[in-house]
Chains A and B, each alone.
Chain A
Amino acid sequence: MKPLESDDRSEMNVLDVAECLVLVRWEIIGRLGVCIPGQAPSIVPVNFVVDNDTIVFRTAGGEKYEHLLGQPVSLQVDRFDWYRRIGWSVLVQGVAEECAEADVAELALAPWAPGSKTHAVRIVPGSITGRRLELKTPLTDGRAYL
């Protein structure tokens, strides 16, 4: 991590790829960002798994799926602490690729939404970036608790 911005209270650090991947692996739900040329950008939550440093998720077939393939997409995950006003966010950018069923049969990919999600999509990351905003000094009084 290297500091990016800082004030009296908190400090923004840049996460390296290994740190980002650790955080992404812990998450179940990510936000799929898609910007198809000529259309408004969109964000859809998906449940996903990390498979050999790639992102895999399921979707229904049809027009949406056809439009997704070959497109640059991103998957974003984050966590926040509202009280301390800190948190982290990781963005994986890559191209959505068709994924053979045999390659993902072992992965825990049952979608949360009802309906049959027969197609698996893989994002091979072109870039993985992340930031973490953290407090410079712990908020808790060291004398308190335990």
Chain B
Amino acid sequence: MSSTAHRRVLEILDEDECLALLDREPVGRLALSAGALPVVLPVNFTVVDQTIVFASAPGLKLDAAQAGVVACMEIDGFDVLSRGGWSVLATGRLEEITDPDRLARARQLPVSPWAVPDADHYIQMPIQLLSGRRINRLQGGAT
């Protein structure tokens, strides 16, 4: 392995790039603390007005939302051949959507969970912190 073959650069994504990627990905991974242990779960989600929205059946996620815990949603993409990729992390407080108007709107969103299509609780996470990174080959570097 020559050193030039691994010349890569770590770029910080700006907020617009992070939001564009969040808009594009149908599934993210939600991390929350359950009994002091980190749990990471795939979630089918969408973004409305800088707020992550997903549906949930009763259980861990809904309990967390009703307790108003802080969680994060991560999305990423990788290329094994070039050993490059990107990831975006959004952090915020989970809340169950209970307002009837907002609930009616949430029901129209394409967030039906793959495993539980009739899940009828909706959770939102207004994004408070948003960050993203990309690992790329160095521009003009070795091929």
> Which candidate, A41-49, A51-59, A99-107, is the interface stretch facing chain B?
A41-49
Main secondary structure of the interface of B (DSSP, over half): strand
Identify the stretch in B14-22, B47-55, B69-77, B95-103 within 8 Å (CB) of chain A at 4 or more residues: B69-77
In the bound complex, how far is the Cα of B114 from the Cα of A7, in angstroms?
Answer: 10
Contact A112:B38 (CB < 8 A) given known A5-B116, A40-B72: no
**Which residues on B are within 8 Å of A, measured CB to CB?**
1, 6-10, 26-27, 29, 31-33, 36-42, 70-72, 74, 76, 78, 80, 83-85, 87, 89, 91, 114-118, 129, 135
Interface positions of A (Cβ within 8 A of B): 5, 7, 9-10, 12, 28-29, 31, 33-35, 37, 40-45, 72-74, 76, 78, 80, 82, 85-87, 89, 91, 93, 110, 112-115, 133
Chain A residue contacts of B29, Cβ below 8 A = 31, 43, 76, 78
Residue among A31, A45, A80 having the largest count of chain B Cβ atoms under 10 Å: A45
User: Would B27 and A72 count as touching, CB distance under 8 A?
Assistant: no
Give the contacting residue for B114; candidates A72, A73, A74, A133; CB below 8 A: A133
Name the A residues within 8 Å of B1 (CB-CB). Answer: 110
**Residues in B neighbouring A35, C-beta threshold 8 A:** 31-33, 36-38
Shortest beta-carbon distance from B36 to chain A in Å:
6
Give the docked Cα–Cα distance between A42 and B76 (Å): 14
Q: Are A78 and B135 in contact (CB under 8 A)?
A: no
Contacts of A45 in B (CB 8 A): 74, 76, 78, 85, 87
Q: Is the CB of B40 within 8 A of A31?
A: yes
Closest to B72 in A: A41
Once bound together, how far apart are the Cα atoms of A34 and B78, in whole Å? 21
Q: With a CB–CB cut-off of 8 A, which chain B residues contact A43?
A: 29, 31, 40, 72, 74, 87, 89
Report which of B40, B42, B84 forms a contact with A33, defined as CB distance below 8 A. B40
Report whether A37 and B36 are in contact in the complex, using a CB–CB cutoff of 8 Å: yes
Assess whether B84 is in contact with A112, with CB atoms less than 8 Å apart: yes
Q: Which residues of B contact A113 (CB under 8 A)?
A: 8, 10, 135
